[in-house]
Chains A and B, each alone.
Chain A
Amino acid sequence: MTDQGGVRPPTAPFARTVWMVLRKDLTVELRSGEIAYTTLFFAVSCVLIFAFALVREGRAPEGGAAGILWIAILFAGTLALGRAFERERQAETLRALLLAPVPRPAIYVGKFLGIVALLVATEAVLLPLVNLLFTAPLFAHPFWLGGIVVTCTIGLAAVGTMFAAMLVRARSRDMLLPVLLYPVVVPVIIAGVQGTAALLQPAFDPAVVRFWLLLLVTFDVVFVVLALWTFEAVMSD
């Protein structure tokens, strides 16, 4: 067994750690598919339930399509987050990650990107579905739609990953995640729904969408930075 020879032991750099964690998560997920399939199925069920509940005479209530879309994403995302971190609890692999000589915020970013990828994949299915079921012309302005969807997803994932990671060792973690998460992501939901609804208006006003987009971008930047600053402190005992 060779010795490292009196030099500072190597520690993995930030970006590489992020990539390794992300790649590992994607590999595990692609192999089992558990979280992806169940999240997707759940999101679709959500949309259907809302359709049955709210559609009258074949038409959704005014602006309903946008609301239904984002509620479904929020609920599905909550389950996915819980499940993703539950997986790290088995065999205590989160502990192993924390034991590794990597910058801990990099673990957060790796997991966060994985969640974003999962949610975007879900949205790729939900958007056409909502478009179809509620005859809502979501794809009329695809770039604006893309902007709103991505920034909103990042906002949900940024706060959600942080809270889900924090709760891994806590009791009652399944209930606590939505209890903690939903009030804090209220601005994201409002912006997402209003932004998406604005895209559905026949008289499309880009200034409105731009406002919500700007709010979302600011939220994302502020909260990702905040999460990076506090992740280490919150995860240490």
Chain B
Amino acid sequence: MPKWFTPAAILCGLMFVVSPVLIARAPDESAMGMVYKIYYYHMPSAWMFLLAPLVCGVSSALFLVRGLAKDDRRAWAAAELTVLFGALTLITGPLWARRAWGTWWVWDARLTSSLVGWMIGWAYLILRRYGGPGSDKLAAGVALFGAVNVPFIFISVNYWRTIHPPTTVVPKLPVSMGVPLWFCVTAFLLLFVLLMTMRLRLEQTRTRLDALYVALDE
């Protein structure tokens, strides 16, 4: 692990420990009181959930063009983080929705698009796990198709949704919720980087082990 890893991990841990304090001290939102505060975790999760597939898509494209193993490792790690942060987003979202709108799920454009995007992330991981040898190139193709698909998914779901009578309008929370929000975003970003690094390291080590196994046989 690189030298900065441990201090960063400690920092990240501390930030997450401190964050509830900051969040508790933020002003209550009038209509919903305490509950909206899960938003402080939901928003950063959602942003990471947007960042991860971007990294995956770009790394996959690079892998297809250059054929370097490190691009493939990064794509795989990013796909796992897509599924992870997607899960966080799709759990914290309905928790909030339940209180805010009285229902666990709405077929809102963003939620539905997120669900589809999350499924593409799962599809990638299933392919890597069960596709056998050569599935690195295949998965890169899937990731690329998935990444390019994002605007199409959003547009089609958005317009699909307007056919149904709108249940509620997703309220736009003022982003200038200031310190607590940006603190959480930073904490999540740090977490993202740490997890990515750990995962890359794991994969690198596995590759090196494989090479050693092979060399041992020489």
Contacts and interface: CB of A to CB of B under 8 A. Distances in A.
Contact of A170 (B65, B138, B149): B138
A166 B159 contact: no
A223 B159 contact: no
A180 B123 contact: yes
A190 B137 contact: no
Nearest to A232: B64
Interface string A186-206: 110011001000000000000
B133 to A, nearest CB: 8
A230 B134 contact: no
Contacts of B94: none
Interface string B105-119: 000000000001001
24 contacts: A159-B145, A163-B141, A166-B138, A166-B141, A167-B131, A170-B131, A170-B135, A171-B130, A172-B130, A172-B131, A175-B130, A180-B127, A183-B146, A184-B123, A186-B116, A186-B157, A187-B156, A190-B160, A194-B160, A218-B152, A226-B145, A233-B64, A233-B65, A234-B140
A187 B145 contact: no
B46 interface: no
A172 B160 CA distance: 33
B58 to A, nearest CB: 14
A215 B156 contact: yes
B120 interface: yes
Interface in A74-127: none
Report the 8 A-B pairs with minimum CB-CB distance, sorted nearest first: A171-B132, A187-B156, A187-B152, A233-B64, A190-B156, A183-B119, A234-B141, A170-B131
Contacts of A183: 116, 119-120, 123, 146
B contact patch SS = helix
Contacts, number: 94
B153 interface: yes
Interface residues of A, number: 33
Nearest to A236: B137
Interface in A199-237: 211-212, 215, 218-219, 222-223, 226, 230, 233-234, 236-237
Nearest to A233: B64
A1 interface: no
B78 interface: no
Interface string A149-179: 0000000000100110011011110011001
Interface string B166-198: 000000000000000000000000000000000
Contacts of A184: 120, 123, 142, 145-146, 149
B48 interface: no
Given A184-B146, A222-B148, A226-B148, A179 B135 contact: no
Nearest to B137: A234
B145 A162 contact: yes
Contact of B141 (A162, A175, A176, A215): A162
A169 B134 contact: yes
Given A180-B123, A230-B64, A233-B141, 13 more contacts: A166-B137, A166-B138, A166-B142, A170-B135, A175-B130, A180-B142, A183-B146, A184-B142, A184-B146, A187-B156, A194-B159, A223-B145, A234-B137
A119 B141 CA distance: 24
Nearest to A166: B138
A233 B137 contact: yes
B116 A226 contact: no
Nearest to B150: A187
B24 interface: no
A132 to B, nearest CB: 25
A171 B131 contact: yes
B163 A194 contact: yes
